[in-house]
Amino acid sequence: MVSEFLDAYRNRHELAEGWKKEGRKICGFFCNYVPEEIISAAGAIPVRIRGGTENVEIADAHLPTFCCSYIRSVLDLALRGRYSYLDGVVFPKSCDMTRVLPGIWKRNVLTPFQYMLPVPGKDTDEAVGFLTYELDRFREALAAEFGGDVGDEALRKSIKTYNENRALVGDVYKLALSNAPPLSGSDMFGILMSGQIMPKEQHNVMLRKLLDNPPAPQGGSNGKVRLMIVGNTFETADLLLVMEECGAQVVIDDVDTGTRYYETLVDESLDPLRGLAVRYLRKTPCPCKHPTERRLERILALASEYRVKGVVLLNQKYCDSHLYDRPWIESKLKENGLQVLFVEHSDIGWVGGKFKTMVEAFMEMVG
């Protein structure tokens, strides 16, 4: 059952192409600040645009090599036609690279529908009001493009489905609270990533089946060291597999494709658009948003709840947002008694041997 999640993520392009042949509309999005609920209500399937591990060649004509490796990889895949099945793509106003990409994409990739969604940097009442207005414009643009019913009733139905998904994933995370978690960190990677490239209704069915019949506990802790990973995106489970080979058990995360994506339900008692604005602005912020202190508080709370002994800070190379936060986050974690390993990595040209040596040394220190 667990392998089905990772297989779905690995075959995400083929799945999307199959939905396209069935006449479904596919709308890609960047970052977890895009309210997918509105895209889904409009009748399109939201899929998170991901990169790869292949060498970048074509994108280097448009972006310097010292830019975010994730964005470079995504652009390279798009220029090669890998994302030709997209009927639309949404860029939120988040990090600098995500703001730069729309201009390049518009001139060179030619996806039929392209939308830049303004997202405030703060979570004040004024910011919530502004985003509510912008989400109404977004709703109108999606309805005009995809022809779906994006009225309040359709939005409420979509919000309910997404809230169910978040709650189910939360229940899967809680399995790691036991002394012998039935799922490894690499198992969780497939579960988390698959939910971002398929309809949430389908992911919910898979999650319920998993929770109804979870894998058997692995029989005691087996001397594994409970760790937390903190940082941003990575493309494959290889990082986690290496950590597991070294005796680590990744039980929780603060990652933009992990808890920061799935946490925080939309308040269904509010007007749908306002509820979405509140949720997306007031969930735990990514480093490109404020206030940063709330993210640190949550990291420490999760580390305590899941009884971790160390934290691995995983930062994509050249990700300025995460690198800016790193010294402060690391110092605060150490002040709270947590051992920290900082790793600057890149999905492109990643060298597993070097990383393994770092993790082995860290395991000796933590153990």
pLDDT in tens, 73-112: 999 999 999 999 999 999 999 999 999 999 999 999 999 9
Over range 197-207, report the average pLDDT. Answer: 98
How far is it, in rounded angstroms, from Cα 337 to Cα 104?
45
| Beta-sheet pairing, 88-92 with 248-255 | unpaired
pLDDT at residue 220 tops 60: no
The pTM of this model reads 0.96
- Nearest residue to 291 (alpha-carbon basis) of 122, 124, 127, 131: 122
Query: Which has more confidence, 348 or 6?
Result: 6
Q: What is the mean pLDDT of the chain?
A: 94
Backbone phi, then psi, for 43, in 5-degree steps? 100, 5
Over range 162-188, report the average pLDDT. Answer: 97
pLDDT at residue 53 tops 80: yes
Query: Which has more confidence, 232 or 7?
Result: 7
- Nearest residue to 349 (alpha-carbon basis) of 48, 31, 69: 69
Count CB atoms within 10 A of the CB of residue 93.
Answer: 17
Share of the chain above pLDDT 70, in %: 98
The letter for the amino acid at 111 is: T
Q: What is the pLDDT of residue 219?
A: 55
- Give the pLDDT confidence of 321-331 residue by residue, as tens digits: 999 999 999 99
For the chain, which domains are there? 22-152 (3.40.50.11890)
Over range 55-63, report the average pLDDT. Answer: 93
Q: What is the pLDDT of residue 221?
A: 59
Q: What is the pLDDT of residue 351?
A: 66
With H, G, I as helix, E, B as strand and everything else as coil, classify residue 150.
coil
Q: Could you tell me if 47 and 27 are in contact, meaning their C-beta atoms sit under 8 angstroms apart?
A: yes
pLDDT at residue 149 tops 90: no
Given pLDDT bands bounded at 50, 70 and 90, which one contains residue 31? very high
Task: Find the Cα–Cα–Cα–Cα dihedral 274, 276, 282, 287, rounded to 10°.
Answer: -130
